[in-house]
């Protein structure tokens, strides 16, 4: 059975700060670099950086262009390849529109470090990846202290948190992306 296409978005709004307040977080160069490389390694169809801030979008586009057409492209062709799949968007809605798949054929799944009742475990996710109902799956990763409730309620589900063998659960978003894509990759290869 054919697997659904896989898209990823790094969301900067609506996210929460440590106090649980809704904020717009800042784009970080390191997130863009590492997540682009991880997405390319695991074969996502596109990696979206989503922020409503015009200044932050301009910064992200400048970083991306440096590695696609600027000096960075000549300096490191492997990095250029990773950056070619990055798209910069205003919002999650714009990401969904850019993918161009009817919403009923797309599963929009949030990620969270917080335990959520009814979260999607890895076995259930495997069924979603191979469910012919879905042409694609869009994974949303929140920055700052995670996705705001407003975002979570608009999703088709929330993937269960990534846990290690300890009670410490504060992975960087870059690490969470890598672990999640690795687990999904294992599902997609079976």
Q: Is 33 exposed, middle or buried (0-12, 13-18, 19+ CB in 10 A)?
A: middle
Q: Is the pLDDT of residue 54 over 60?
A: yes
Q: What is the pLDDT of residue 188?
A: 62
Q: What is the pLDDT of residue 1?
A: 61
pLDDT digits (tens, 9 = 90+) for 145-163: 999 999 999 999 999 999 9
Q: What is the pLDDT of residue 109?
A: 98
For the chain, the average pLDDT equals: 94
pLDDT digits (tens, 9 = 90+) for 115-145: 999 999 988 998 888 777 899 999 999 999 9
Question: Which residue segment(s) compose the domain that 165 sits in?
Answer: 5-52+86-189
Tell whether 29 is covered by a domain: yes
Say how many domains are in the chain: 1
Tell whether 65 is covered by a domain: no
pTM: 0.95
- Cα–Cα distance list, 14 to 11, 20, 65, 176, 183 (Å): 7, 11, 26, 18, 26
DSSP summary character for residue 120 = B
CATH of the domain at 173: 3.40.1280.10
């Amino acid at each position: 059975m054919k697997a659904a296409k896989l898209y990823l978005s790094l969301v900067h709004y609506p996210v929460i700060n440590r106090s649980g307040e809704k904020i717009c977080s800042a784009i970080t160069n390191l997130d863009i670099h590492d997540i682009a490389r991880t997405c390319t390694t695991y074969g996502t169809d596109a990696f979206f950086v989503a922020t409503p801030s015009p200044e932050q979008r301009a910064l992200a586009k400048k970083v991306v262009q440096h590695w696609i057409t600027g000096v960075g492209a000549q300096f490191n062709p492997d990095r250029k390849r990773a950056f070619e799949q990055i798209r910069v968007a205003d919002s999650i809605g714009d990401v969904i529109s850019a993918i161009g798949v009817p919403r009923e054929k797309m599963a929009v799944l949030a990620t969270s470090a917080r335990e959520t009742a009814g979260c999607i475990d890895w076995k259930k996710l495997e069924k979603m990846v191979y469910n012919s109902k879905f042409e694609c799956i869009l994974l949303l990763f929140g920055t700052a202290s995670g996705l705001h409730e407003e975002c979570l309620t608009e999703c088709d589900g929330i993937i269960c948190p990534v846990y290690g063998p300890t009670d410490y659960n504060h992975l960087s978003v870059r690490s969470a992306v890598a672990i999640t894509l690795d687990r999904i990759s294992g599902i997609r290869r079976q």
